[in-house]
């Protein structure tokens, strides 16, 4: 019994020691929580400021005519060269932090961006937060071909077909057709451009043939542009490969449509013919109203046979065939990367031209193609400082 009474005191002291350690630990954790929360808030703020810098750069590139814009013809100057800290205040006037921007490269198609968000400022205590964002900024280019239909090869216009480029001069005068090879015009067909006599079709000013191949290549999308368009289509879920048919059971969505080779590899003059994409657009493909708006890019051949209106840009790396009641409003280009057969336009839509040049429709894809600068899909990167 005395031995049991003697064990109570050490046991009590041990319990008190353990409780003291636990209480001290809890006290230390409690003191750390505000600091952790404060650091987390600063990191989130730095992220938001870096995003604000990204949006500022997109705005500046999209409005080059503004005093605070970025001219496309030169490298970006201050504050877009990383030399200046751009402060951001709260609605009550207190300084929240800011960002630095570096926009590198020049031209009106692609730039590289680094945006650095800083809280509470550009200089300050060791506890300041930093967030870096890097991205490739792009602007989708309309090739603006020299005619409503431009073909890098031979072209055949069927009997009674109308191709009309007279109405729209907003991008300059355009011929009806343009080809690097021969253009064969069927009986009763009417090809008209803005440079010819509006009352007399099929004049030399309306039909440009035997043109330099290099003139087409200079206007065609570059490999980098095709990769950007492919990335945009992937994000939208409108990227396809190989043999694709759009009809009533598989309608074609508006926007950027990219149909790639079977292998998914970029197309070149050496791409095997079986690897080229093969696309058909049949009746019912465009859904109610029968009209598609956007850009169709095909790394291969395209056949448009349905009662459908394609409003925008039709860009085909190989051969284009347009028959039946199909109608194109905007512009069309066929590259004939492998095919030696002529591009064929043998469509006679009721009351309309088979192809009608429209700069606005081609450039904007009927209002479905963004005209401002954007982040190239897949190029956005974040690095916490």
pLDDT for residue 32:
60
pLDDT for residue 35:
60
Cβ(320)–Cβ(302) under 8 Å? yes
Cβ(189)–Cβ(157) under 8 Å? yes
pLDDT for residue 181:
98
Distance CA 272, CA 274 (A): 6
Residue 67, exposed/middle/buried by CB under 10 A (0-12, 13-18, 19+)? exposed
> What's the pLDDT tens digit per position in 111-164?
999 999 999 888 765 558 899 999 999 999 999 999 999 999 999 999 999 999
Residues in the chain predicted with pLDDT less than 50, given as ranges, are: 1
> What's the pLDDT tens digit per position in 289-343?
899 999 999 999 999 999 999 999 999 999 999 999 999 999 999 999 999 999 9
Residue 377, exposed/middle/buried by CB under 10 A (0-12, 13-18, 19+)? middle
Full-model pTM: 0.84
Torsion on CA atoms 167, 169, 175, 180, rounded to nearest 10: -140
267 Cβ contact list (under 8 Å, min separation 6): 261, 276, 299, 300, 317, 337
């Amino acid at each position: 019994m005395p031995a049991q009474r003697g064990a109570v005191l050490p046991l009590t002291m041990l319990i008190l020691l353990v409780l003291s350690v636990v209480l001290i630990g809890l006290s230390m954790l409690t003191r750390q929580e505000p600091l952790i929360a404060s650091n987390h808030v600063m990191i989130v703020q730095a992220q938001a400021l870096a995003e604000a810098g990204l949006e500022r750069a997109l705005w500046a590139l999209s409005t080059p005519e503004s005093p605070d814009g970025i001219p496309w013809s030169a490298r970006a100057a201050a504050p877009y060269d990383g030399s200046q800290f751009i402060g951001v205040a709260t609605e009550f006037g207190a300084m929240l932090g800011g960002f630095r921007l570096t926009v590198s490269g020049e031209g009106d198609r692609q730039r590289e961006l680094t945006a650095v968000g800083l809280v509470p400022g550009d200089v300050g205590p060791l506890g300041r937060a930093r967030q870096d964002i890097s991205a490739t900024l792009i602007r989708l280019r309309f090739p603006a071909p020299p005619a409503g239909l431009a073909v890098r090869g031979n072209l055949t216009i069927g009997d009674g077909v109308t191709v009309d480029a007279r109405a729209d001069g907003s991008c300059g005068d355009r011929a009806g057709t343009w080809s690097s090879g021969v253009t064969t015009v069927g009986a009763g067909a009417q090809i008209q451009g803005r440079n010819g006599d509006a009352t007399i079709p099929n004049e030399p000013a309306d039909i440009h043939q035997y043109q330099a191949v290099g003139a087409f290549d200079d206007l065609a999308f570059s490999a980098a542009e095709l990769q950007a368009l492919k990335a945009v289509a992937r994000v939208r879920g409108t990227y396809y490969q190989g043999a694709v048919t759009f009809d009533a059971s598989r309608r074609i969505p508006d926007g950027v449509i990219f149909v790639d080779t079977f292998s998914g590899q970029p197309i070149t003059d050496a791409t095997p013919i079986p690897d080229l994409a093969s696309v058909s657009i049949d009746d019912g493909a465009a859904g109610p109203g029968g009209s598609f708006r956007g850009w169709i890019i095909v790394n291969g051949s395209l056949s448009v046979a349905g009662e459908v209106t394609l409003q925008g840009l039709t860009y085909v790396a190989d051969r284009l065939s347009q028959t039946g009641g199909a109608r194109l409003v905007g512009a069309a280009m066929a590259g004939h990367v492998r095919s030696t057969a002529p591009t064929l336009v043998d469509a006679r839509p009721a009351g309309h031209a088979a192809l009608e040049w429209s700069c606005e429709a081609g450039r904007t894809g009927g209002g479905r193609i963004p005209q401002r600068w954007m982040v190239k899909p897949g190029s956005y990167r974040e690095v916490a400082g």
